[in-house]
Amino acid sequence: MSNDHNSLQATILIVDDTPENLAVLSEVLQPYWRVRAATSGRRALQIAFGESPPDLILLDVMMPEMDGFDVLAELRADARTADVPVIFVTALDAIEDEERGLDLGAVDYITKPIRPTIVQARIRTHLELKHARELLRNENSYLEAEVVRRMRQNQIIQEVSIHALARLAETRDPETGNHLRRTQGYVRTLAEDLRAHQRFANYLQPHTIDLLVRSAPLHDIGKVGIPDHVLLKPGKLTADEWAIMQTHARLGHDAIEAAEKDAEETVEFLAIAKEIARHHHEKWDGSGYPDGLSGDSIPISARLMALADVFDALISRRVYKPPMPLAEASAIIIEGRGTHFDPDIVDAFVRRSGTFSEIATRFSDDEQD
């Protein structure tokens, strides 16, 4: 018999209360494998639960104090030995004993008197099966880790791409500074506060909140399509100029929708980004743009972004205005409760005003990106 990859590397534990039987089995196995022996079930468990569990166990059924069935039950109940193949060796030939052993998790059954070639062949087969299972388990672990790694890599690429696009819009409006980071922080703060609220709980699951935060930087991507004389005008816009400025919501929506159609598969965050881009200037009372939506007909994502965007615009320097103090900006947000903003979102803003203040300070336009 040839020595394959399982041969001398493997350890076989033989368990039998008759020393003569142990001697016979040892003689049959030692040319091919390392052999350990135990004359009782209790001793077998001590060896099996030791630092180096055996690769396979040949287990006698009929033993005093603790029979083979009891030993097998304990082996299977312990994580260290749950996967060690156990072959029953017994003089019993009653079919119910064989069935009981297999039901308990034995992999095979050998009857005495043993035939050396049969025992060697069975052991070799089960060692090869164990080796194959371990290879498969290791391969699966590797594949799972690789999937996690690649998903994370894809997520990073996605986030970098989003910020690159959003930064492109910012190059047209350079005074917005850390606006993207601040609004992301505000949106997450509001969403985390409202996730247990009965009106928002079904929507604001952890995964959706992550998508919202990831999508938020694309809210003003449509500004790329607004002419400089409108976008960068330092004074008040005329009615015609204001109409042009308002088109950035549709332009952003349409650009994301076009990207969505180009994608071979559905990209979850693009659906949310599209909602935010189109509807973050809608108002709770229906007086916003571009579609004049009101109340709950405005997507939750856009309602959250609306408050975050307005608050940040108020506290930020623009070509047409100086920054507003936090307290004054907060008063304007609260004043817009039930007219400009969803009342419950304003209440969340009030509860988390300290966090808003921290985000505004941490990512202020005076700080480096």
pLDDT band at 145 (very low <50, low <70, confident <90, very high): confident
Mean pLDDT of 79-83: 88
What digits encode the pLDDT tens for the residues 180-190? 889 999 999 99
In CATH, what number is assigned to the domain containing residue 132? 3.40.50.2300
Domain match, 138 and 179 both: no
What digits encode the pLDDT tens for the residues 101-119? 777 788 888 888 888 998 8
Domain end call among 122, 142, 162: 142
Domain match, 96 and 197 both: no
Mean pLDDT of 312-341: 92
Domain end call among 93, 123, 142: 142
Domain match, 190 and 323 both: yes
Domain match, 341 and 198 both: yes
Q: Which residue has the higher pLDDT, 95 or 265?
A: 265
pLDDT band at 1 (very low <50, low <70, confident <90, very high): very low
pLDDT of residue 369: 42
Domain match, 70 and 189 both: no
Closest Cα partner for 252 from 267, 274, 234?
A: 274
- The answer to whether the beta carbons of residues 299 and 308 sit under 8 Å apart is no
Domain end call among 142, 161, 190: 142
Mean pLDDT of 320-333: 92
Choose the most confident range, by mean pLDDT, from 83-87, 203-207, 259-263.
203-207
Report yes or no on 156 lying in a domain: no
Report yes or no on 321 lying in a domain: yes
What percentage of residues in the chain have a pLDDT greater than 70? Answer: 91
Number of compact structural domains in the chain:
2
What digits encode the pLDDT tens for the residues 36-63? 999 999 999 999 998 888 999 999 888 8
In CATH, what number is assigned to the domain containing residue 289? 1.10.3210.10
Mean pLDDT of 167-189: 78
- HSE at residue 117, side-chain half, CA atoms within 13 A, is 1
Whether the predicted pLDDT of 153 surpasses 50: yes
**Nearby residues of 87 by Cβ (< 8 Å), 6 or more positions away:** 56, 57, 58, 59, 106, 107, 108, 109, 110, 122, 123, 126
pLDDT of residue 171: 67
247: containing domain:
172-362
Helix (H) or strand (E) holding 328: helix 326-335
Q: Which residue has the higher pLDDT, 158 or 359?
A: 359
Domain match, 242 and 291 both: yes
Domain match, 192 and 336 both: yes
Domain match, 69 and 205 both: no
The whole-angstrom separation of Cα 165 and Cα 174 is 14
The whole-angstrom separation of Cα 255 and Cα 272 is 13
Domain match, 114 and 219 both: no
Domain match, 100 and 206 both: no
Domain match, 248 and 130 both: no
What digits encode the pLDDT tens for the residues 15-33? 998 888 899 999 999 999 9
Evaluated on CA atoms 287, 237, 246, 180, the torsion sign reads negative
Domain match, 136 and 181 both: no
Whether the predicted pLDDT of 8 surpasses 60: no
